[in-house]
Structure 1
């Protein structure tokens, strides 16, 4: 008699909710150790979940990491939506954007390091490429919403396209992150000053 290996699984929505719960629990370990040094066993040892539970909900380490970073970045991508809806002047939008940028750098540096780690790994690991590409597209769209709204509030159009704007902000952010995790106290203030100088030129 043949049995269905998925017969004992919870309904899809509960199964996915449990995956997200486990992925959130894994984020701290992933952020601490990075991709190369993290295994399902390592995550189990640093959390309340057993190795068997992780294997039940995730096919492998790639599956868990993809789920974790997708969940984290889905929250990052909507971080500025409230500001975009309420800002009425360029200065109000700019200051709010800079405040939130500084806040996430100070509060979540490990998560940002993990993102850049996985994006670099996607150059070599095909398992990450589709998710990394999709997250990058969504981050680019988020950047475009901020910059285009800034330009609109000044009665102008952005002077760069979406991809170039994202590449510029992302590059500056990554440089700042590296300096910040290297204990450079001027990393975040320097980034904020540079963006305050650059944004008026871009829109």
Structure 2
């Protein structure tokens, strides 16, 4: 086989892989809300197919099992999530503006995308028991940690100070508030959610050491 023919075959093979990956992404995004409604334990590829426009055969062709589909769906959702606060960070000219913008978006996404966030926590909890999830969960968690760190680093900078702890500490602190608020939101306890919203600015302050 000539070099030209080999290169042509390589290009064809790459295009086929790209098309396959693109279709996986499309299917994962399209079934995301179904997955979020059903959750991990109640979901199978057949049940997802019954609750979506896609056949079981199509889903099974592109995904090995429900773990594969759920992981890909959450990964695609996180692509959007991990840049959610970047506009707030980039546009803030004062620490108060950044804090208020972050708090508003923090609780807006909690209420607007509650089932999708629930799916993420479901997947993360499953990774404690199912080792096959862990690498993907840790990768996604790392992106979420970096997102939070961008917020806290900029908040500290605007206050003329420094972050008080590590990226991991900042992340688990704010993620803990978010998960608790999500639980109360799903339980219909608006008062508890409102109290957490009122307390979040003070939590952010705990993560920053002021100059001097």
* Unmatched runs of 5 consecutive residues or more in structure 1: 1-6
Q: Which residue of 2 aligns with 1:119?
A: 124
Specify the alignment match of 1:161 in structure 2: 166
Tell me which structure has the larger Cα radius of gyration: 2
Match of 1:93 among 84, 98, 114: 98
Q: Distance in 1 between matches of 2:162 and 2:30?
A: 42
Q: Report deviation, 1:106.
A: 1.1
Query: Is 2:107 the counterpart of 1:102?
Result: yes
Aligned match of 1:49: 54
What is the match of residue 82 of structure 2? 77
**1:9: Cα distance to partner?**
11
Tell me whether 44-53 or 8-17 shows the greater mean CA deviation: 8-17
Q: How many corresponding residue pairs?
A: 197
CA distance in 1, matches of 2:193, 2:164: 25
1:152 equivalenced with 2:167 (yes/no): no
Cα-to-partner distance string for 1:163-202 (whole Å, 9 max, x where unaligned):
1111111111111100000001123322221111222232
SS at the partner of 1:186? helix
Asked if structure 2 preserves the Cα contact closer than 8 Å seen for 1:177 and 1:187, the reply is no
Within the alignment, does 1:136 sit opposite 2:136 as a pair?
no
Write out per-residue CA displacement over residues 39-93 of structure 1, whole angstroms, 9 at most, x where no aligned residue: 0000100111000000111111111111001001111000011111111100110
List structure 1 segments (4+ residues) > 3 angstroms apart after TM superposition: 7-10
Q: Aligned Cα RMSD in Å?
A: 1.7
Moved more, 186-195 or 132-141: 186-195
Q: 1:11 to 1:187 in 2, by over 3 A?
A: farther
1:68 aligns with 2:73: yes
Q: Check the 8 A contact 1:29/1:38 in 2, yes or no.
A: no
